[in-house]
Each structure stands twice: as structure tokens, then as C-alpha cells.
Structure 1
């Protein structure tokens, strides 16, 4: 636990903060620089030269040549892992060996075996760990969770969700080819599906069994601008059906690319009412969401605006329309967890459990059988 003595700020070191582009400067940096409980003290990038360039750009003096060097820095309390999935293991193990708290972006590991290894290593290290499943921090998702818990729909009978995985369509952004290779661990199944199904579980409970169909419908896709052809080995169609712990039936279908019809549509049907969530794309952790509902004698759905109490970190108000907002909410909860010993943000054990669900989906699709969790 970090106590409010001396310098109260949580010292952060980011592995993967680049001067050029990436998720860290796009989301982590805007969030951290607005939250007074944090001090961004160090960074490490892919090379010492990249680290120096990033340090100069962002005004960070402690630009380290490696993740291990950053983890050993006494000014760093929390190591943030913002690198591609194949590098998560080495960076996380270095941070754990240094006895530092760790926030890793999702997915935790490159496959379930690696995730379980990292969760076990974290338990042995005795430090606090956090996983970047920030969709559950979104105000609309928390609002939806409370509507269901308060009985808005009565007993949940079923839920159905259809969404678009925009980065797995006919074209990909320059630098995004690694997402197309299933061996890299950053696929449509692990990233947007994983974030979304975690939010679904927060709202409705965990899956107890799954059946699945996956397919690669676009085996070759092209880079935007250059037109370069690249093979896609990660499924661009993921259809999962199953049962939740409550007995409710669930159906989730992710489709690569964007749709002219529906890019995100989530229905929750119950004995007394219905809830519908729509969004501008299927990456729920980043999407702009609208919640509508009807119950009792209501004939039509009506918008259920997210109450202001869910926007509970005023320092982030200017980011409400940005992908960094949910990341910032998560950081605010991490700080509270570190100060007060609470457990609001998912840890590595939770991440390993979520990756076991994804592994069950893959096994169900490969064997054509129902897999029990």
C-alpha cells in the first residue's frame, strides 16, 4: 500500500511511451497529466534512442534504456506496461522482480498459459497488480450494471450483442499488421471481444459454458495508403453462445471491420423490461455509448441518460469524449486501491480468469463442442 506521507503522488514509470504514436501517448499520458495523485517520473521505450526522444518530447528526465532499468528506479512506484502483447511477459516479470506495483494493458499475456504464469508470479511477489480492462470503468457500463442490479428488467432471461472489430476489416492502419497475426496475441478475440465480454460479465455475471464458431473470412488484407497485401491469420468472425451463472442465455458476435448497419448493439431482455446499448464501434472500452430502456407498460424504448454521479473524477471532465477518459477513471480507482487497500480494479488473477474464458472459446470453436468453465 502507498501511504499519504511525504510526497503523496504515486510515481509512475511507463514502458512503451513513444514520441511518435501509440496508445500510451494517446490515452495514458492525457489521463495521468490531469490526475493530481500521480507523478509521471520515468519512461522506457523500444530503444535507448527512442526513450531519449520521448523524454525530450514529454519533459521526463528519467528516460531508461530498458524495462528492467525503469523497474529498478526508486522514483517509480507503479510500472505501466504499454507495449505489444508479446513483450508483456518480460516487462511484467522485471517489474515484479523489482517489487513494484504493475498496471498491464489487456490482454495480460500472450495466451492463457502465459497469463496464468504472470498471475502466479504476481501472487508470489506480494505487490498490487492491475489489468487495463477499462470498459468496466465507463460511466455507461457502470450505469447499466446498476440498472440491472436494481431490477430494471426484472430477472434477466437473455442477452445478445453484435459488434464490429474495426481493426480486422479489409484494410489496416500502417503499423497495425501485428494485430493480424494470431501468434502475437493481440487479436479481435483478445482485444475488443475480451474488453466487451469483461464488461458483459460485470453487468450480468460470468459465463459457465460456451459454444463458438470462428472463421477467417478475409485471409488477405491491405495496408491503408500503400495497398500492401498482408495475410490475416487471426479470426475476423467470432460467434459465441453460452449460459451465464444466473441461467440467462448469452450470444456475442464480433465481425471484422465496420458495418453500414450496426457497429455495436447490446440487448438485455428480462421478465419486466429491456435494455439496449448502442455505440459507434465495437471497441467498448473506447466507444461512445447510448443506453435506452423500456419496462412495464412502456411501448417504446427511451434514452436513459447516464447520471452525472458516474462522471465522478472532475479532473478528467475535458476528456469525456476521448478514449483516454475510461483509462483515467481506471487510474483514479487504482490510486484509491493503492491508498486504501481496496480492490476496485481487476488484478492479474482476474485477467487470467478472463483469458481462460477466451481459451474456452478457442477450444469450443476448434472442437465443435460445448466447453464448461
Structure 2
């Protein structure tokens, strides 16, 4: 099969440590990636900006440069458009390509709100556009191993689960000046939608227009929650802004985004979960208690308990793995604890950690396993609906 002709939107020459360059590009330029994909175009804020990026990343000289999403969509020699821009321009950037029927890979969040996400889904339904979304925690190896333990009935049916997570930003009081938009709820990219959204534990009981309910790491493992109740709090509204190049605090801003989310719900009965099983998740922005892990996830069952500990935090699809991620099973009958190993596939180890789960999504998509195997924009819409309902309980006027 010929490689999928791919265009990237948002690969910037001035941001060589961006998510596009650190998580997407390594796979696409690897031997494995080149066998399945070929980069044929870039689209940036201008044609000149795209040309600079082509030169910076030493892409093929015939790579086409675009400065307009519609011009990109009109190029009939492009099969897949990858959108790695800031979330509040995802919609306007990718909509022309969706309407043109091209396949799209959109980073999470899909859009700044439910209304814009719905328009993208409607356009994809009309054009037949195939899609995948960067909710890649579901394909991370530690998560896959945990899910396997549950389906092997190592602890019997699930009775309850608890998640205690910290992160969303490196510091509880500071943000890089380039991430100031994290403090503006209307932009749509913040620690609730990105940080909590990537580690949220439930899938919708009846996802709207969705082909798959298991669209993020924890819901993929445990299943759907009902009767979800949440408490949101803004503990530190004044946020200092730090210059990324000097490390110095240069300004401050006032946030209207919650920095603490606590949610509780009941698992839908399933092959692995008992009816009425309770799930509790706590997500707080910034660092945990000194020298404590950034994520502790326990799953309590009839015969035992599983504990996943990630020292680096809750993003089980990316840089969390720069520090130890461990799995253990406590068997109640023998009262012993057994470590459970997990590993990356050999080909993944050749890639930077941030790009390994993204690479798995690309692999699955190239193999034609879009429906259900990878999260789609329909799945992303379901996640947006959940988060919007949660955020509607947040009183923004203070």
C-alpha cells in the first residue's frame, strides 16, 4: 500500500520543542513511519513560515508550503491532515479539510467547546472523513497491562477505584508566559480539558454520535460511570508568568479556570465491574506533596487490589514515563504483593517517550483500524460533552 500522503498544520520552525515536533514528527520521519506515511505539505500562519519549517526540519524539498487552511484542503494530493495548533484554532484550521473529506488527526482537545466540536462531527458525517484524536492514553502499555489484569479476573470484579493525580502544569503557582491562555476558560485549553481530560476515569453511558465509549485511558479500563457528581475549586487564582528563556517571572494574570477537580460516580455493571462500584478521582494542578508520586491509581476488587503508581504524573501517554511507572497486585487470599511488568514494543523504544503512544495511534490508523481501535472525533465530542457538564457547575463570577 502506498504511504498516506500527510500534511501537518502547526509544525513551527520557531518552536522546535513543540508537541508537533516532539511527539508527531519523530514517528513520521522514522523508518517505520516513512513506510506508512509521507509528509507532502505543511500549513502555518503564512507560506513563508511553512517554508522555514520545511527547511528547519530538513523535509523533502518538494514539500508544499501553505499559509491558508482552505488552500490545504483544496490540494487533492493530500490524504491526511494533522492539526497541532492551539486548541482555539483547531476548528477553523481543520474544518475545510473535514468538509473536503480528507482524513484528519486532531490533537486533544478537539475544539474550544461543544458547539465547535459538534460542527466538526457533523461535517465529518456529511463528507465521510475518517478521523483520530490525540487521546492516546488508551494505547499506552501500562494502561493496556492494567486492563488485561482486570479482564484476566486477577482481582475478581471491580468494587471500587480511586485516582489521586497532580499535574496539568509543572508548577502550582507558575505558568510559562506562552501558556497564559491556560488561565482563560473560553480558550478551551487548560488543566481541566487537557490535564484532567486526559486522565478522566469515565466514558459516557450513552455517548452522542459515538462509535466507541472507551475514549481515554481510565474509561478504557473501567467502563462507564453514571450519577457523576463533581466539586471544582480555584485555589490559586493569581498565576505568575515566567519567561521560558530566562526563567524569570515577568508578569502575572488572574485565572478563571478551576485548579482542583474532585469527581465521584458509579460504574455501570459489566463483565469486570460489579453493579454500584464507586469511582473517586481527585486532580489538582501542580506538584504533589514533596517526593510523592504524581499519580496513584488503585482498583479494588473481590479478590485483590491493583495499584498503578506514576512518579511523573497522570499523563500516561507521554512524559510521565521519564520516571518510574509501576504496577502491583495485592492478592487478598495469600496477602502478598506481586509486581507486574510492562514494556514498550521494541520499535517504540527508538522514539522519544512523548511520541511513543502517538506512534501507536498512527500505526493503528494506517492499518485501517480507525473504528473503535483509535479515538475518533465522535469520541472526542462525547468527552467534550462530559467536561462541559462538569464545568457548568463552576461559578465563574466571583
Shared fold (TM-score greater than 0.5)?
yes
In the alignment, is residue 235 of structure 1 matched against residue 219 of structure 2?
no
Partner of 1:13: 7
Partner of 2:160: 158
Distance 2:196 2:386 in 1: 11
Indicate if the aligned counterparts of 1:166 and 1:258 stay in contact, CA closer than 8 A.
no
What are the equivalent positions in structure 2 for 1:171-320 lying under 5 Å apart? 171-197=174-200, 198-224=216-242, 225-227=247-249, 228-246=251-269, 247-259=276-288, 260=290, 261-279=292-310, 280-286=312-318, 287-288=320-321, 289-306=325-342, 311-312=344-345, 314-319=346-351
Distance 2:118 2:152 in 1: 34
TM-score with structure 1 length normalisation? 0.90
Distance 1:341 1:364 in 2: 34
Q: Please, which runs of 5 or more residues in structure 2 have no aligned partner?
A: 201-215, 270-275
The 3-state SS of whatever aligns with 1:291 is strand
Q: CA deviation at 1:171?
A: 0.8
The 3-state SS of whatever aligns with 2:347 is helix
Distance 1:26 1:170 in 2: 26
Q: CA deviation at 1:46?
A: 2.4
Partner of 1:370: none
Partner of 1:346: 375
Distance 1:209 1:139 in 2: 30
Q: CA deviation at 1:341?
A: 6.5
Indicate if the aligned counterparts of 2:303 and 2:333 stay in contact, CA closer than 8 A.
no
Distance 1:98 1:222 in 2: 43
Indicate if the aligned counterparts of 2:329 and 2:337 stay in contact, CA closer than 8 A.
yes
In the alignment, is residue 88 of structure 1 matched against residue 90 of structure 2?
yes
In the alignment, is residue 24 of structure 1 matched against residue 20 of structure 2?
yes
Distance 2:370 2:228 in 1: 34
Indicate if the aligned counterparts of 1:153 and 1:269 stay in contact, CA closer than 8 A.
yes
Partner of 1:42: 41
Distance 2:308 2:356 in 1: 19
Distance 1:45 1:211 in 2: 41
Q: CA deviation at 1:282?
A: 2.2
Which of 102, 114, 128 is equivalent to 2:116? Answer: 114
Partner of 2:363: 332
Indicate if the aligned counterparts of 1:196 and 1:285 stay in contact, CA closer than 8 A.
no
RMSD (Å) for aligned C-alpha atoms: 1.8
Q: CA deviation at 1:342?
A: 5.0
Indicate if the aligned counterparts of 1:11 and 1:75 stay in contact, CA closer than 8 A.
yes
Indicate if the aligned counterparts of 1:212 and 1:362 stay in contact, CA closer than 8 A.
no
The 3-state SS of whatever aligns with 1:301 is strand
Q: What is the aligned length?
A: 354
Q: CA deviation at 1:249?
A: 0.7
After TM superposition, the runs of 4+ consecutive aligned structure 1 residues lying more than 6 A away are none
Q: CA deviation at 1:364?
A: 4.3
Indicate if the aligned counterparts of 2:131 and 2:370 stay in contact, CA closer than 8 A.
no
Partner of 2:55: 56
Partner of 1:33: 29
Partner of 1:127: 129
Indicate if the aligned counterparts of 1:207 and 1:245 stay in contact, CA closer than 8 A.
yes
